[in-house]
Copies of this chain bind each other. A is one copy, B any other.
Amino acid sequence: MKYLHTMVRVSDLEESLDFYCERLGLVELRRKDVSAGKFTLVFLAAPGDDSAQVELTYNWEPEEYTGGRNFGHLAYAVENIYESCQRLLDGGVVINRPPRDGRMAFVKSPDGISVELLQRGDPLPPQEPWASMDNAGSW
Protein backbone atom coordinates (compact mmCIF):
# COMPACT_ATOMS: atom_id res chain seq x y z
CA MET A 1 0.00 0.00 0.00
CA LYS A 2 1.36 3.35 -0.96
CA TYR A 3 0.19 6.94 -0.75
CA LEU A 4 -0.32 8.46 -4.20
CA HIS A 5 -1.93 11.88 -3.95
CA THR A 6 -4.43 14.23 -2.35
CA MET A 7 -6.96 15.63 -4.77
CA VAL A 8 -8.41 19.13 -4.48
CA ARG A 9 -10.87 20.81 -6.83
CA VAL A 10 -10.03 24.19 -8.29
CA SER A 11 -12.35 26.74 -9.86
CA ASP A 12 -9.69 28.58 -11.91
CA LEU A 13 -6.83 26.48 -13.24
CA GLU A 14 -4.48 29.30 -14.19
CA GLU A 15 -4.95 31.08 -10.89
CA SER A 16 -4.39 27.81 -9.04
CA LEU A 17 -1.23 26.91 -10.97
CA ASP A 18 0.05 30.40 -10.27
CA PHE A 19 -0.47 29.75 -6.57
CA TYR A 20 0.72 26.15 -6.31
CA CYS A 21 3.67 26.43 -8.72
CA GLU A 22 4.82 30.05 -9.02
CA ARG A 23 4.16 31.06 -5.42
CA LEU A 24 4.37 27.84 -3.43
CA GLY A 25 7.06 26.13 -5.51
CA LEU A 26 5.47 22.86 -6.64
CA VAL A 27 6.12 21.62 -10.18
CA GLU A 28 3.70 20.23 -12.75
CA LEU A 29 4.38 16.56 -13.48
CA ARG A 30 1.63 15.76 -15.96
CA ARG A 31 -1.71 16.96 -17.22
CA LYS A 32 -4.73 15.19 -18.63
CA ASP A 33 -7.55 16.91 -20.51
CA VAL A 34 -10.66 14.75 -20.60
CA SER A 35 -13.02 16.36 -23.10
CA ALA A 36 -15.66 13.64 -22.71
CA GLY A 37 -15.97 14.42 -19.02
CA LYS A 38 -15.17 18.11 -19.43
CA PHE A 39 -12.40 18.19 -16.87
CA THR A 40 -8.66 18.62 -16.61
CA LEU A 41 -6.40 16.87 -14.11
CA VAL A 42 -3.01 18.36 -13.23
CA PHE A 43 -0.58 16.46 -11.02
CA LEU A 44 1.86 18.50 -8.95
CA ALA A 45 4.65 17.66 -6.52
CA ALA A 46 7.47 19.27 -4.61
CA PRO A 47 10.59 19.26 -6.80
CA GLY A 48 12.26 15.87 -6.54
CA ASP A 49 9.47 14.44 -4.38
CA ASP A 50 7.31 12.91 -7.11
CA SER A 51 6.05 10.06 -4.96
CA ALA A 52 3.63 12.30 -3.01
CA GLN A 53 1.46 14.36 -5.32
CA VAL A 54 -1.38 16.84 -5.31
CA GLU A 55 -3.97 16.34 -8.02
CA LEU A 56 -5.84 19.46 -9.14
CA THR A 57 -9.23 18.71 -10.67
CA TYR A 58 -10.57 21.49 -12.83
CA ASN A 59 -14.13 21.05 -14.05
CA TRP A 60 -14.68 23.02 -17.23
CA GLU A 61 -18.17 23.95 -16.08
CA PRO A 62 -17.16 25.12 -12.65
CA GLU A 63 -19.02 24.71 -9.43
CA GLU A 64 -18.60 27.00 -6.48
CA TYR A 65 -16.41 25.36 -3.85
CA THR A 66 -17.16 25.96 -0.23
CA GLY A 67 -14.53 24.84 2.20
CA GLY A 68 -15.53 22.06 4.57
CA ARG A 69 -13.97 21.89 8.00
CA ASN A 70 -13.31 18.18 7.76
CA PHE A 71 -10.41 18.78 5.40
CA GLY A 72 -7.58 20.54 7.19
CA HIS A 73 -4.47 21.26 5.16
CA LEU A 74 -1.60 20.08 3.00
CA ALA A 75 1.80 20.31 4.70
CA TYR A 76 5.27 20.77 3.21
CA ALA A 77 8.73 21.01 4.70
CA VAL A 78 10.75 23.89 3.21
CA GLU A 79 14.44 24.73 3.22
CA ASN A 80 13.97 28.32 4.42
CA ILE A 81 10.57 29.35 5.69
CA TYR A 82 11.32 33.09 5.43
CA GLU A 83 12.29 32.80 1.77
CA SER A 84 9.21 30.69 1.02
CA CYS A 85 6.94 33.21 2.73
CA GLN A 86 8.65 36.15 1.02
CA ARG A 87 8.03 34.56 -2.36
CA LEU A 88 4.39 34.01 -1.50
CA LEU A 89 4.04 37.57 -0.17
CA ASP A 90 5.71 39.02 -3.27
CA GLY A 91 3.21 37.07 -5.32
CA GLY A 92 0.29 38.67 -3.54
CA VAL A 93 -0.53 35.75 -1.27
CA VAL A 94 -1.71 36.65 2.25
CA ILE A 95 0.38 34.99 4.97
CA ASN A 96 -2.45 33.97 7.28
CA ARG A 97 -0.11 32.71 9.98
CA PRO A 98 3.31 34.36 9.63
CA PRO A 99 6.38 32.38 10.74
CA ARG A 100 6.95 34.44 13.87
CA ASP A 101 8.64 31.42 15.46
CA GLY A 102 10.83 30.68 12.44
CA ARG A 103 9.09 27.34 12.23
CA MET A 104 5.52 27.37 10.93
CA ALA A 105 3.38 29.35 8.51
CA PHE A 106 -0.03 28.99 6.87
CA VAL A 107 -1.38 30.33 3.60
CA LYS A 108 -4.47 29.50 1.56
CA SER A 109 -4.96 28.51 -2.06
CA PRO A 110 -7.37 30.51 -4.24
CA ASP A 111 -10.05 27.95 -3.34
CA GLY A 112 -9.45 28.13 0.38
CA ILE A 113 -7.26 25.05 0.80
CA SER A 114 -4.94 25.66 3.76
CA VAL A 115 -1.26 24.95 3.15
CA GLU A 116 1.13 24.57 6.07
CA LEU A 117 4.82 25.30 5.64
CA LEU A 118 7.24 23.88 8.19
CA GLN A 119 10.91 24.76 8.48
CA ARG A 120 13.02 21.68 7.85
CA GLY A 121 15.18 20.84 10.88
CA ASP A 122 15.52 23.37 13.70
CA PRO A 123 13.49 26.61 13.67
CA LEU A 124 15.27 29.66 12.24
CA PRO A 125 16.10 32.58 14.58
CA PRO A 126 13.22 35.09 14.80
CA GLN A 127 13.50 37.69 12.06
CA GLU A 128 11.61 40.83 10.98
CA PRO A 129 9.23 41.53 9.37
CA TRP A 130 7.93 38.11 10.35
CA ALA A 131 8.53 38.26 14.10
CA SER A 132 6.05 41.10 14.62
CA MET A 133 3.56 40.27 11.86
CA ASP A 134 -0.02 39.66 12.97
CA ASN A 135 -2.22 36.76 11.97
CA ALA A 136 -4.63 37.46 9.13
CA GLY A 137 -7.93 35.63 8.84
CA SER A 138 -8.23 31.90 9.40
CA TRP A 139 -6.34 28.91 8.06
Contacts and interface: CB of A to CB of B under 8 A. Distances in A.
Interface of A: 1-10, 25-26, 45-47, 49, 51-53, 55, 57, 63, 65-79, 84, 111-113, 116, 118, 120
A25 B76 CA distance: 24
Nearest to A67: B68
Given A51-B52, A52-B51, A71 B1 contact: no
A25 B46 CA distance: 26
Contact of A69 (B6, B9, B69, B75): B9
A49 B9 CA distance: 25
Contacts of A71: 7-9, 67-68, 70-71, 113
Given A2-B49, A25-B1, A8 B70 contact: yes
B113 A75 contact: no
